[in-house]
Structure 1
Amino acid sequence: MSEASSVSPELFLLHSVGDFQVESLKLVQQTRRSIAILSRDLDQLVYGSSEFVEALSNFSRTSRYAQVQILVKNSKQLVETGHQLAKLHQRLSSKIMLRKLTVEPQNTDMGFMLCDTDALLYKNDESSYKGFANFNAAIEVKRLRETFDYIWQYGEPEPELQQLFI
């Protein structure tokens, strides 16, 4: 179970996949305008659970201003496994945008989810479940959002995830 930090009551230290699942769901449920996700392969256990995908779907449909941007380093696994979030992207492509990284961030091991301008789920290393969730992290979110926006502009759509309507 995630533990509240002694530094802040809105900072939670995460040590397991269950911690990431619980906190990512809380973050999506409280978000009002924008979500930005940077991930190596869009971790199936965290971002592919039916609860998370349903929450993201609900978020996307709540407001015409709601927007989700997803950057992945490796899109091959998304295509091969039929990732639930990739399928949601295909159905709601105007609300949920997904691109493949072409430019790496300075810290190539990290992964994160930014919610609005103040909430953050941060994974120190994509190969392990260690990190934190902070529901009051405006300064960190601003810095990471700048990095995300820079990388986003160079990201490329994944042709195999595009749906052709005829």
Structure 2
Amino acid sequence: MHTDFEQALQQARLGDDVVLYSEARDEAAVACLHMVLPATFRLDVISRDLEPAIFDNEDFYQAVKQLAMRSPKSKVRILIQNSEHIVKHGHRLVELSQRLSSHIDIHLQGRDFREFNEAWLIVDDRGWAKLPRTDSFKGEFHFNAPREVRERSKEFNTMWDVSIEDPNLRRLYL
């Protein structure tokens, strides 16, 4: 990870007028975690297949778990395009969503959005992140962008409204 990026990230807080740009996988992963840690009530995620390099590690798992358990009104919604990889190999967030199903939902994107090839994080009413291509870790992280968060939230809600539950991600009770 570049030292300049790491130093800037350590000084950035949700609500600060800071925009950071990642160039590498480690930078994107740390920036996503840094944005989610202070979340108090909401996290919306769009990701092709919950990229393990960013979303399937113990620190991110713990941050999402803390958010989900913080309040009865806390909500985490995740939209993915493909569940094959995470069903086959497992994923911490899928397991967490099965345990905390009243706070964490994972849906498949609807047919109209199957070609959407960006990854997003929307954190509370303040921050959002975008990786413009899911096969690249170049991204932008906005720590205080309430207007853009409202716009992205409307887009996310439109996608969520036509999304579908994936039976492969449900917990099996035997």
TM-score (ref. length: structure 1): 0.91
Does 1:77 find its partner at 2:89?
no
1:94 alignment partner, SS class: coil
Distance 1:147 1:15 in 2: 25
CA distance in 2, matches of 1:104, 1:128: 23
Go from structure 1 to structure 2 and tell me whether the alpha carbon gap of 1:123 and 1:106 turns closer, same or farther (over 3 Å shift).
Answer: same
1:93–1:145 Cα change, 3 Å: same
2:101 corresponds in structure 1 to 93
In the other structure, the counterpart of 1:148 is: 156
Aligned counterparts of 1:30 and 1:87: Cα–Cα separation in 2 = 22
Whole-angstrom CA distance in 2 between matches of 1:107 and 1:137: 26
Counterpart mapping for 1:47-126 below 5 A: 47-105=55-113, 108-126=116-134
Higher helix fraction: Structure 1 or Structure 2? 2
For normalisation by structure 2, the TM-score amounts to 0.87
Q: Which runs of 5+ in 2 are unaligned?
A: 9-15
- Same amino acid, percent of matched pairs: 26
Number of aligned positions between the proteins:
164
SS in 1 for 2:37: helix
In structure 1, C-alpha distance between the alignment counterparts of 2:42 and 2:115, rounded to whole Å = 23
What residue ranges of structure 1 are gaps of 5+ in the alignment? none
> Would you say the 8 A contact 1:103–1:151 is kept in 2?
no
Of 42, 52, 57 in structure 2, the residue corresponding to residue 44 of structure 1 is 52
Give the whole-Å Cα distance in 1 for the aligned partners of 2:17 and 2:27. 16
Look up the SS of the partner of 1:69 in the other structure.
strand
* Correspondence for 2:36 among 12, 28, 33: 28
Q: Deviations over 1:82-135 (max 9, x none)?
A: 011111111111110000011444972211010011101110111101111111
Distance 1:48 1:36 in 2: 16
